[in-house]
Chain A
Amino acid sequence: MAGLKNFVGGELAGYTELLQDSRKEATDRMVEQARSMGANAVVNVRFATSSIAQGAAELFAYGTAVRVR
């Protein structure tokens, strides 16, 4: 499907969904890490994406874990 879409242009919905799910997973892991350190909020969150190989991408979420009083 993405192959055909690559010819006519437009949104590659399969890829959009794939990356959204991966980013959600990365965010969840970040939150989990913050929680294990005893934080109750993560501020200044940033995302990064890198193409590491053919057909593979890394999605990365990072932020500052804080304890709000």
Chain B
Amino acid sequence: MDGATLHRIGLFIQYAWPLLLLLSTYVIGTIIEKRHFSSIRQREQDCIAMPVVSFDTMPDDWQAGASTLVTGSIVISLDYFKRVVAGLRALFGGRIKTYEPLLDRARREAVLRMIEDAQSQGFDAVFNVRLQTSRLANSWGEGNSVAGVEMLAFGTAVKLGSGLAPGPERS
């Protein structure tokens, strides 16, 4: 291998590699995000009949048979491309649009997992739903970087007694 080839390889590693990384993480990240959103929309449609509310009391005419705590959580991270964009945005301030879909899908996924937890145990409704966000510190010590964001949804799942079924047919 002569000097010129080594020089070219050096140039490639120096300039092309970061661009390639940005491009590939952008493409893969976008595909993963699109798939995730379509899965979320589908599952939201599937469980739309179940009442999931943030009230801490039940309507007076509903009777609870059994109740328990249900939770759903997800740890999610931004792709490299979006992280770079967000970093640039943070220099000038303003709305960081690349973070918004991340938090949106994390929150909806957490709520969906909570609902699926309730449904799998045969509950009819979830009351007093609360959402919580926390940042996870990185485990390989890269300064103040963040491994991911954890979204937690929890609430009180309730089995309705005396055959009361909530729905549009009850007015």
Contacts and interface: CB of A to CB of B under 8 A. Distances in A.
Contacts of B69: 27, 45
Interface in A5-28: 5-13, 15-16, 19-20, 23, 27
Nearest to B106: A11
A48 B135 CA distance: 12
A49 interface: yes
Contact of A8 (B25, B36, B102, B152): B25
Interface stretch (B7-15, B42-50, B73-81): B73-81
Contacts of A46: 130
Interface in B147-171: 147-148, 150, 152, 154
A15 B29 contact: no
Interface stretch (B57-65, B89-97, B118-126, B137-145): B137-145
A19 B73 contact: yes
Nearest to A16: B75
B156 to A, nearest CB: 9
Contacts of B130: 46
Contacts of B6: none
A40 B102 CA distance: 40
Nearest to B27: A8
Top 7 nearest A-B pairs (CB, nearest first) are A9-B79, A55-B139, A15-B75, A49-B134, A9-B29, A51-B137, A8-B28
Interface of B: 21, 25, 28-29, 32-33, 36, 69, 71, 73-80, 82, 102, 109, 130, 132, 134-141, 147-148, 150, 152, 154
